[in-house]
Amino acid sequence: MSKSKDLDAAVQDVIKAGQIGRPVFVRCLVGVPEGREDQVKLFVDLVMNVQGWIGAAIERLVAVGTWGPGLSICVQFRNGASAIISGKSTREWLADLIVLGNHGAIYRDAFSGGVAKLARSFPESDSRRVIRAALEAAVESGRPQTVLEKQP
């Protein structure tokens, strides 16, 4: 099993076991590849990963920065939860993760935990296309984008 599946599965297992309650905030810092298309795919996968943990539809995406050396995405969910996903160009893949629940937290420090790939790849779907379009529009325009998709 890859580190990606291990980390995603570990987070899902903790949430399903009720150890942190309902997730209300996620902060994720990842190393991103240099190419724009690879960055787009990675950020879409990260948003979808986090959405799976939060378990709610996305309300809005806000982007700060540009494709390239540094970008942060704020994701607001319909259930009131939120996430900040930040990427920085780096040679090595790192994932620094905090998931705050309403009565507990998950921490994964990239510097003491070692290099790990956080996002798993999701197949092409309507949901993926909607998230990608909103993400690209948010980055290009610098304006918040409403995401019109069904509940996961």
DSSP 18-39: TSS-SEEEEEEEEEE-SSHHHH
Q: What is residue 3's predicted lDDT score, i.e. its pLDDT?
A: 46
Query: Mean pLDDT throughout 95-103?
Result: 90
Residue 8, classed as helix, strand or coil, is helix
Q: What is the mean pLDDT of residues 52-59?
A: 94
- Give yes or no for a contact between 138 and 144, defined as CB atoms under 8 angstroms apart: yes
CB neighbour class for 147 (10 Å; exposed up to 12, middle 13-18, buried from 19): buried
Q: Which residues contact 49 (CB under 8 A, 6 or more apart)?
A: 8, 118, 119, 120
81 and 59 in contact (C-beta within 8 Å)?
no
Predicted structure pTM score: 0.87
Query: Residue 98 pLDDT more than 50?
Result: yes
Q: Which pLDDT band holds residue 1 (cuts at 50, 70, 90)? A: very low
The phi, psi pair for 74, rounded to 5°, reads -100, 125
Query: 122 with 48: CB under 8 angstroms?
Result: yes
pLDDT at 55 over 80: yes
Q: Are residues 98 and 107 in contact, defined by beta-carbon separation less than 8 angstroms?
A: yes
